[in-house]
Structure 1
């Protein structure tokens, strides 16, 4: 019986960084890499294909760092304002 793949829908998924990362907030996953029990995702900035980096896919589950989908920047700013009050 085949083992269940971790993060099966990783490639093609979209993410919003809670903090600017390399100058950008919106990224998409273009490649995945399995290394032993770890899964890594290559993220590319939505507005600049030259900005790319690898991240442990487990880090994408941390809502303090990443939100699934592309969140509107106004919503991010409103959440940051609410936290500082």
Structure 2
């Protein structure tokens, strides 16, 4: 019997960070790495491909850290902060 792969659709998926991460909020998974029982995702900022980092893919399931897809501030229920100066 084949073992079910963890995070089968990871590569190519898009994510919105709940907090600004490395200066950005929108990321795409461009690579995955299996190390023992752990799965890691290589994240790349949508607006700056030079911003890249690896994280444990399990963190993507934490809705306090990440939301699936690219979400706008309005979709996330936040007010946009505007500089009126």
Question: If the length of structure 1 is used for normalisation, what is the TM-score?
Answer: 0.87
Q: How many residues align?
A: 80
Aligned CA-pair RMSD: 1.6
The structure that has the greater radius of gyration is 2
Which residue of the partner structure matches residue 19 of structure 2?
Answer: 19
Match of 1:73, SS? coil
Q: Distance in 1 between matches of 2:77 and 2:45?
A: 19
Q: Which runs of structure 1 show a deviation greater than 6 angstroms over 4 or more consecutive aligned residues?
A: none
Moved more, 68-77 or 27-36: 68-77
Question: If the length of structure 2 is used for normalisation, what is the TM-score?
Answer: 0.87
Please show how residues 1-85 of structure 1 align to structure 2 within 5 Å: 1-76=1-76, 78=78
Unaligned runs of 5+ in 2: 80-85
Match of 2:75, SS? helix
